């Protein structure tokens, strides 16, 4: 068992070096979080041996755990302040991205529409001793206004547009990181709140599962 844990830790070091740092993610705190969170515990056991591969994997309910590089990139783009940060995540899924955020922010608020995924994610994070995460089951397209404003909002499912409820829930200078586009493919975008409006940056092409909700895609 200990030998296997060592093998997973070694696989994680290589994942960070070959898939993440090699592609230009530089933030030392992000790289450290990616080296420490055991991704093999966030995938169904039959996929554990592929947990440190360079792609997404199925997690049930037709959903996927994102590719490690994309998780690292989205986290870096959020520019989470080192002290006292509060982050909102929409699309808990396996909870892997949530765990990375929990290493960098003081408090993480995360919303998932599938109750079974949310329950499994919550159990995993508790087992890992990450206690600064608040879970909610429901439609994340409406945000979580009770705890706003957030230093950053990370959306891990694809939306046609930024859900209108979100911009007002991010603080001045804070970022929304979100894949925007059609159901088949999207562009990862970063929106930064300025005094009068949002600065908008296009980052890279991505493919996410749809954000389904009142201010997202309709259920099909």
Token representation of residue 78: 């959020």
Place of tokens 């894949």: 179
Q: Among all chains, which residue has been given the structure tokens 């397209």?
A: 141
Order of strands, edge to edge, in the sheet holding 86-90? 133-137, 107-112, 86-90, 150-155, 170-181, 186-193, 198-206
Write the CA distances from 115 to 58, 82, 111, 176, 184, integer angstroms: 17, 31, 10, 24, 25
How many residues make contact with ligand SAH (CB under 6 A)? 26
Q: Which stretch binds ligand SAH (CB under 6 A): 4-12, 108-116, 143-151, 176-184?
A: 108-116
**Residue 212 Cβ, how far from ligand SAH at the closest point, in Å?**
4
94 is catalytic: no
The CB-of-202 to ligand SAH minimum distance in angstroms stands at 21
CB of 74 to ligand SAH, least distance (A): 9
Report the C-alpha gap between 52 and 40 in whole angstroms. Answer: 7
**CB-wise, 31 or 90, nearer to ligand SAH?**
90
Binding-residue pattern over the window 46 to 75 for ligand SAH, x denoting contact by CB under 6 A: -------------x---xxxx---------
Chain residues binding ligand SAH by CB under 6 A are 59, 63-66, 90-91, 93-94, 96-97, 111-114, 117, 139-141, 156-157, 209, 211-213, 216
Catalytic (active-site) positions: 66
């Amino acid at each position: 068992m200990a030998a296997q844990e060592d093998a997973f830790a070694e696989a994680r070091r290589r994942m960070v070096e070959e898939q993440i740092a090699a592609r230009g993610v530089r933030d030392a705190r992000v790289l450290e979080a990616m080296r420490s969170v055991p991704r093999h515990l966030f995938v169904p056991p039959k996929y554990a041996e592929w947990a440190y591969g360079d792609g997404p994997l199925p997690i049930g309910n037709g959903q996927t755990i994102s590719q490690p590089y994309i998780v690292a990139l989205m986290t870096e783009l959020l520019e989470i302040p080192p002290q006292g940060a509060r982050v909102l995540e929409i699309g808990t899924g396996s909870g892997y991205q949530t765990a990375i955020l929990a290493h960098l922010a003081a408090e993480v608020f995360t919303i998932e529409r599938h109750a079974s995924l949310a329950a499994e994610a919550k159990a995993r994070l508790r087992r890992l001793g990450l206690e600064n995460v608040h879970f909610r089951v429901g439609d994340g397209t409406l945000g979580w206004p009770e705890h706003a404003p957030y230093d950053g909002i990370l959306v891990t499912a694809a939306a046609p547009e930024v859900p209108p409820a979100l911009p007002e829930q991010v603080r001045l200078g804070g970022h929304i990181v979100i894949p925007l586009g059609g159901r088949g493919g999207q562009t990862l975008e970063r929106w930064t709140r300025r005094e009068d409006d949002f600065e908008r940056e296009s980052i890279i092409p991505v493919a996410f599962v749809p954000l389904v909700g009142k201010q997202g895609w309709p259920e099909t």
